[in-house]
Structure 1
Amino acid sequence: MPTGPFINAAAIIGGAVAGATLGGKLPERVRANLPTLFGLLSVGLAFITIPKVANYAPVSLAAVIGTALGEWIGIENGFAKLAAAARTFADKLIPAKDGMPAETFIENYVSLVILFGFSGMGIFGAMHEGMTGEPSILYIKAILDVFTAAIFAISLGVMVAFIAVPQMLVQCTLFFLASLVIPLATPEMRADFAACGGLIMLATGLRIMGIKPFPVANMLPALVLVMPLSHFWTVYIA
């Protein structure tokens, strides 16, 4: 049962409702500084998962090849085009919040859909729970998302709560797909998968904090490559 995706969705809904109703009372300095803290928490989670690596060489190889593949495919550019297309469609469905231009509202809203539904932590967390039954990563994401949703709902309104629907669909799909891998995965493969996800969460945290704009979306193919590479490394090299 995919516990993490449901908890994560509930966090977004709760945060959005709280932000839309009570967010105006939150000091501006708190709104400005919380995202930096979220990035730091993502970095801290990476430091927990990376040291559990079984073989760092295949993890490194997966990260390099996966990122190169993502750059070649243009995953982040694809997200940008998707956002532009969705903005045009959403402009016909979602009215602008009072005091905010419609174009700004749609742009922020679509960007938030991508942030919640297709983040490296969410994708890795759903796959990790599907393979191990451990939802802790999505629990941590839920803690971050409840505050993020609240902050954005101050300006975008309760419509932020509806983002929980596509996010839950994405995470549940990844959960069930990853569960099919369990009979084929060794403990070493799972450890290397977790370490690879840790690298992506580290990149995500540094990007949120504005330290380095890593192409996090382009790094996601590494999660597909790392387990086969880990198996090959363990059987034929290590």
Structure 2
Amino acid sequence: MFVGLGTLINVTTIVGGAALGVLVGARMLARTRILITEVLGLITILGAVSALAPMWSDRYINSIPKGWTLLAILGSLLIGGAIGSALSLESRLEGLGEALRVKFGAHKESTFIEGFVSAALLFAIGPLAILGSISDGMSTGIDQLLLKSSLDFFAAMAFAASLGWGVAAAVIPVAIYQGIWTVIGLGLGSILEGYQVDAMTITGGVMLVCIGLRLLKIKDIAVGNLLPALFIAPIFVLVLNNFL
């Protein structure tokens, strides 16, 4: 078994699930594909609820100064959002999606970019992507990435049934993102405490709500600009834990 195998399996399952979803989706009526997208939005929000659960866990509450449990997440999102906005991450992600749309020959009015951006964010956000990649880099097992691969396969299939090949193209940023964390795991070993993982999970949960709102056409929030918050959150709570 070699370092990076977990991410390779993950990428393969996403592409496989997306391909199967496209084949199924091509035979669906437009109103059925719209309904599936709305259901995915609801399920994404439901998944966000479970990701927000650590907010009330003893491990997280006891590691953060009193009154800072919510402020830590707010601070992480604000700082991360400021960084992401300055770097125009959302625009860059959409630009990458547009370049891939042209390369894949998808129609300009197609859902390619929407599928690419939504899937890339969904597959990258969450502790499994980070912790699983770190574990892979440390050569301590790929169990977490195998679990993530199973979940991503069905998510990719469902997304691609309504949003098309853009979902498969999402493996490019996902592979880069998880590859970076794998290298971090390879070089630094175990770096995150439990409460830091909780902060990251909660932050990811808020971002999943944003993705759900986007899929439901309720509010188009620039989730891509919030991505740095996933890196800020564990650092923010570490500072709070050590200095306050």
- State the SS of the aligned residue for 1:212: coil
1:147 aligns to what? Answer: 158
Match of residue 211, structure 2, among 204, 222, 227: 204
Deviations 1:47-99 (A, max 9, x none): 112121314232221111111221122111223343445555x2xxx456xxx
Deviations 1:187-237 (A, max 9, x none): 111111111111111111111111221110000010111111111111122
1:43 aligns to what? Answer: 45
Match of residue 215, structure 1, among 214, 217, 222: 222
For 1:87 and 1:164, the matched residues in 2 are separated by 11
**Number of aligned residue pairs:** 219
Q: How does 1:1-238 map to 2 (within 5 A)?
A: 3=6, 6-7=9-10, 9-17=12-20, 19-20=22-23, 22-53=24-55, 54=60, 55=64, 56=69, 57-86=71-100, 90=103, 94-95=104-105, 103-104=108-109, 108-109=111-112, 111-116=114-119, 118-124=120-126, 125-131=128-134, 134-135=144-145, 136=147, 139-153=150-164, 163=169, 166=172, 169-177=175-183, 179=185, 183-237=190-244
Name the Cα RMSD after superposition. Answer: 3.1
Aligned AA (1:67):
G
For 1:225 and 1:195, the matched residues in 2 are separated by 12
8 Å contact 1:35–1:208 — kept in the other structure?
A: yes
Deviations 1:109-141 (A, max 9, x none): 45544443x314424342142357534555434
For 2:21 and 2:241, the matched residues in 1 are separated by 49
- State the SS of the aligned residue for 1:183: coil
Q: Percent identity between the aligned chains?
A: 17
For 2:117 and 2:167, the matched residues in 1 are separated by 14
Aligned AA (1:19):
V
Say if 1:192 and 1:30 are closer, same or farther in 2 by CA, change over 3 A.
same
- State the SS of the aligned residue for 2:144: coil
Moved more, 2-11 or 60-69: 2-11
For 2:167 and 2:100, the matched residues in 1 are separated by 17
Give the gaps of 5 or more residues in structure 2.
136-142
- State the SS of the aligned residue for 1:213: coil
Say if 1:188 and 1:212 are closer, same or farther in 2 by CA, change over 3 A.
same
Deviations 1:129-184 (A, max 9, x none): 2357534555434322112223344xxxxx66863752563354144145356522
Give the gaps of 5 or more residues in structure 1.
97-101, 154-158
Say if 1:129 and 1:193 are closer, same or farther in 2 by CA, change over 3 A.
same
1:99 aligns to what? Answer: none
8 Å contact 2:123–2:152 — kept in the other structure?
A: yes
TM-score by length of 2: 0.73
Aligned AA (1:42):
T
Say if 1:141 and 1:202 are closer, same or farther in 2 by CA, change over 3 A.
farther
Deviations 1:18-66 (A, max 9, x none): 533x544434332110111111111111111212131423222111111
